[in-house]
Structure 1
């Protein structure tokens, strides 16, 4: 049990830290380091048990303060099962926290499994906004008008954001005007302006001419870079979306193959060749596949594989459970992934069931690749 005087002092000190103005250290003395405000609580098991039990409303009780606390910003009330916050941000002093879970839930009471903690990231900017409302002598009174404090904080943040945005816009506008003046001057003179007369103009002629040549060279390099970027951007990305035409069942290998035809085709990096898709342009591709099954077999699915460079590889597979009632046996299986494909690779979709029943509609069964 805690001493009442000690408990009262622990409850009052955090409020005094918020209300009392911060004193600066006298000259010639080294200021004391500010101690971080943090709290860490753990649930300890009851005697003869390895865990804890939540209440009827899911409240987790039985919290105990850990020895690693660097300060005492919280006070736990065992009777109510609440944490009394006395100065942590962004919560107002006097607020309470309740840890809840499912009703009558069994909790593992281990320090690395069930714990609760708070840490103050920054000191209070305005203690008057966070101090509890009440008479001057009532330091531990209830908190009043919490919406006013939140509104003040939001208004301060909005005002600071608006000021920062205005300063950034003014700076960018000034720089933009300066650049416009420089561009206009270069367009008129073909180089830097030749203001001034007499000996200064004679002495700076060579410098201005060299600056003009450098400016023109920089402009030509910029135009060439833009031309290269434009040419790259105009290059079409390879896109191929396929829909089924027919299926073929192979009894010896117990598989069903799908024949495809292009529904959307852009670029020259991909080509549909009957049952397979050939890759002509190596790169990273998004590959997706869907099959709509009408089969009563307990599980159905498709396998997307790649064959090339002397080996065969399964890229991904999709499996779905099917109902035994033919009227309900309508399930689609969709899967996708990103893969690096090489030039000359062939892709195929195989259903590992002979005489598989699937939909040939373009919105139910399809296959596609998009080069990223």
Structure 2
């Protein structure tokens, strides 16, 4: 396997890393201590600069204003951008817009693409994804109470969702709801585009996550659909194909997440090195002189490298062989990279001591936002079981066992 990075990508990554260091990391203190909405004017200026540098929307197709990078290339970009919480938003590739744009591009009608996809990719509007339900397990999306009934030329939607990320200020949601109750379990749900100003679309609250209630893009909402009516043509993709669309959305999304987690790990290691080499602990001694700190640094470096190579290999396999052929690797990287992220963040916090618990560094914010890495997109335990069952099944087939 060729691990070299093309000259083009080296240039792109160099420009991105320089921008992150000079333009975004200095804004982190305000991001951690102020309402996100108060930063939006300054961030809009940063986004304008990114567009002028022709680095906007790296994962999206060129015919819609993006850079058209493949999955492996975009994974490298995610790693660079994630060193700061402001990275993906400033470059126009934040979730859930990124995943919504992918399925709109693949399954949207020409009218849906012009009305919703193009302005999302241009950064003119934001969107949200409404799948997870309050009273049912998110790891099994075939279990769903939210429903939509076709009444003439309108869908009537009822249901209770939460963790509808970035709903605050979004112009539309892509809602996954049950439309075919009599079909097989994996063919019951559909995806429907719901403008957020539609009567019956009720944003109940932004959910406090580990004590922090975000606003605007940096939020997670609870949504109540009450006789919410949208035109029949707002159906996204075929009826009953919502589960399949969700899987197509989540496969590449796990590469995005995992490489973003690697970027966070890289930043945590940078902060540990800075802290360890400058923090005095005795006359003539700093933290980095202690063997336990040296051991932690070595472990962090090894764990990050192992996770990174796993994710890049998975992205390469998806690019060359397709998502179906890489489904085992997709599950492996999801729980392995999430576990490495937790260890690295926790070690970084420990090295910083009391300072690590505060918002004077970005570590606590990373921890608040990313402890959920082991939960969203399928809890780690589900992925481990899924991989193990597949491995056992393949082994039994190879040995002729039943």
Q: TM-score by structure 1 length? A: 0.20
Greater radius of gyration (CA): 1
Q: TM-score by structure 2 length? A: 0.19
Q: Tell which has more relative contact order, 1 or 2 (C-alpha 8 A, sep 6+).
A: 2
Q: Which structure has greater helix proportion?
A: 2
